[in-house]
Chains A and B, each alone.
Chain A
Amino acid sequence: MSPNAYLIVSAALFCIGLAGVLIRRNAVVMFMCVELMLNAANLALVTFSKVHSELDGQVAAFFTMVVAAAEVVVGLAIIITIFRSKASLSIDDARRMRH
């Protein structure tokens, strides 16, 4: 397998995740799509790790996982907090900060 195949999969996954973030209105689904984009970036990191025969890319992917876990915890807590006050998951309803 050439690295290009892996990188194209990574790019496609990233674009699918981006499409989800742009098109969906449900906060939880948008959040899942952000995870999808993080994973796509991880795949590129691991691929380049093998291309360059260095383990550093895998370490970077590992740190991305750690950051993703922290991000999910805080993001879901925020979503629950918004849901408690708005009783809605739609991001269009969360515009209280604007006024």
Chain B
Amino acid sequence: MFTTLVFWVAAPLALVMAVGTVVARKVVHSAICLCGMMVALGALYATLEAPFLFVAQILVYTGSIVMLFLFTMMLIGIDTQETLVETIRGQRVASGIAIGALLLLLVLAVGNAIAGGFGTLEDDNAHYSGNAQGLAVLIFTKYVFAFEAAAALVLTAALAAMVLAHTERRSPKVRQRESAAARIRRYAESGTSPAPEAGPGVYARANSIAYPALLPDGSIAGGSVSPTLLGRGDAVLNAETLPALVTEAAAEIAGELPVLTTSAQASSAGDPAATTVSVEPAPDDAEGGAR
């Protein structure tokens, strides 16, 4: 009874998460969905009298494999965009038909192949006083050569990953002296400011790093928001709407605080847009320049 309940919770969850893995637009969302699918599958293993695999599934898959995926995404950048252009014409339709046919075939074959119900693993599990012990006996007696081959495979894979991911440094390491010289050289050649880029904006309602800083004229200070956030898109407030929002907030504050209203009115006859002019620009602090 309990098994049935777990099945009807875990199996739909696994299917939904699997669909999420395929359709999620962002790679990180795919990875999280995959993680949920693995956990739900682990619950299904638990209902199938496989407690060792239940734990191993969560430890190995969600603990290490999905973590590896996430590490890879951090290395190669989470802001990489996927092209949705079909390179082979009709590929989606053809693959849809193929997948539907395969599902039909599998389900029909399964429906014909399995007539009986479940057996029980209780005897096997109890024979060596536990599921893990029973598996260990099998692995170290009947499947010992497969186990040794798996050990060689894992060792080879670890070495292969080290060889593949390793790169020799071909240029000398850039230290503080070199980077400072390059910064000044850029300033001399192209006029790029040697000062550090402006920090994110701090406003009355938000001090998130996703908010860009504003220049004294109310425009967005370039480079004040991380390119990763810009690439991700939704974390960043739209550059067009921000000045209006700040103006609105400033006007509201000006309405609430009479002192500010008078100062704003004194400067430019109560025009709300002028209030943004009084927003302090981010000062180029000389201490940060040593970075």
* Pairwise interchain contact A74-B164, C-beta atoms closer than 8 A: yes
- Whole-angstrom distance from the CB of A10 to the nearest CB of chain B? 8
A68 to B43: give the CA distance in the assembly, Å.
19
User: Within 8 Å CB of B150, what residues of A?
Assistant: 63, 66-67
Pick from A6, A12, A23: contact of B92, CB under 8 Å: A23
Q: Does B75 contact A (CB under 8 A)?
A: yes
Q: Does B172 contact A (CB under 8 A)?
A: no
Pick from B15, B21, B107, B160: contact of A33, CB under 8 Å: B21
- Whole-angstrom distance from the CB of B84 to the nearest CB of chain A? 8
* Pairwise interchain contact B119-A51, C-beta atoms closer than 8 A: yes
Q: Does B123 contact A (CB under 8 A)?
A: yes
User: Within 8 Å CB of A92, what residues of B?
Assistant: 83, 87
Q: A69-B65, A77-B165 are in contact. Are A36 and B37 (CB under 8 A)?
A: yes
* Pairwise interchain contact B68-A43, C-beta atoms closer than 8 A: no
Q: Does B214 contact A (CB under 8 A)?
A: no
A19 to B97: give the CA distance in the assembly, Å.
10
A25 to B52: give the CA distance in the assembly, Å.
35
- Whole-angstrom distance from the CB of A39 to the nearest CB of chain B? 6
Q: Mark B61-77, 1 if CB is under 8 A from A, else 0.
A: 10011001100110110
Q: A9-B44, A81-B164, A92-B83 are in contact. Are A54 and B124 (CB under 8 A)?
A: yes
Q: A18-B102, A23-B22, A32-B34 are in contact. Are A79 and B72 (CB under 8 A)?
A: yes
Chain A residues 9 to 54 lying within 8 A of chain B, measured CB to CB, are 9, 11-20, 22-26, 28-29, 31-33, 35-36, 39, 42-43, 46-47, 49-54
A5 to B117: give the CA distance in the assembly, Å.
11
A67 to B120: give the CA distance in the assembly, Å.
27
Q: Does B38 contact A (CB under 8 A)?
A: yes
Q: A28-B27, A77-B161 are in contact. Are A90 and B83 (CB under 8 A)?
A: yes
* Pairwise interchain contact B165-A28, C-beta atoms closer than 8 A: no
Q: Does B244 contact A (CB under 8 A)?
A: no
Which of the segments B108-116, B184-192, B231-239, B266-274 contacts the partner chain? Answer: B108-116
* Pairwise interchain contact A81-B165, C-beta atoms closer than 8 A: yes
Which of the segments B134-142, B219-227, B255-263 contacts the partner chain? Answer: B134-142
* Pairwise interchain contact B161-A58, C-beta atoms closer than 8 A: no
- Whole-angstrom distance from the CB of B201 to the nearest CB of chain A? 30
A44 to B53: give the CA distance in the assembly, Å.
13
A9 to B114: give the CA distance in the assembly, Å.
14
User: Within 8 Å CB of A51, what residues of B?
Assistant: 114, 116-119
* Pairwise interchain contact B22-A78, C-beta atoms closer than 8 A: no
Residue of A nearest to B125 (CB): A55
Q: Does B49 contact A (CB under 8 A)?
A: yes
Q: A7-B110, A36-B18, A39-B41 are in contact. Are A69 and B138 (CB under 8 A)?
A: no
**What 3 pairs across the A-B complex have the smallest Cβ distances?**
A53-B119, A70-B157, A22-B95
> Could you write out 15 A-B pairs with CB less than 8 Å apart?
A7-B110, A9-B44, A23-B22, A28-B69, A42-B53, A46-B48, A50-B49, A65-B60, A66-B150, A72-B65, A73-B157, A74-B160, A80-B75, A81-B165, A89-B80
